[in-house]
Amino acid sequence: MAAPLRPRITGITLNVLMPDGTTRVHTIDPKATDALVWSDRAVEVFGKFYDKGGPAEGKHMSREDFLRHFPHGEPIIGDQPHLPMTPTVVNQIWNHPKEDGTTPAYLSKSIMNPTNG
Report pLDDT for 53.
86
Q: What is the pLDDT of residues 56-107, one digit of tens each?
A: 888 999 999 999 989 999 999 999 999 999 999 999 999 999 999 999 999 9
Task: For residue 25, list its beta bridge partners.
Answer: 15
Rounded to an integer, what distance in angstroms lies between the CA atom of residue 18 and that of residue 5?
38
DSSP letter for each residue of 54-109: STTTT-EEEHHHHHHH-TT-HHHHTT-SEEE--HHHHHHHHH---TTSPPPS-EEE
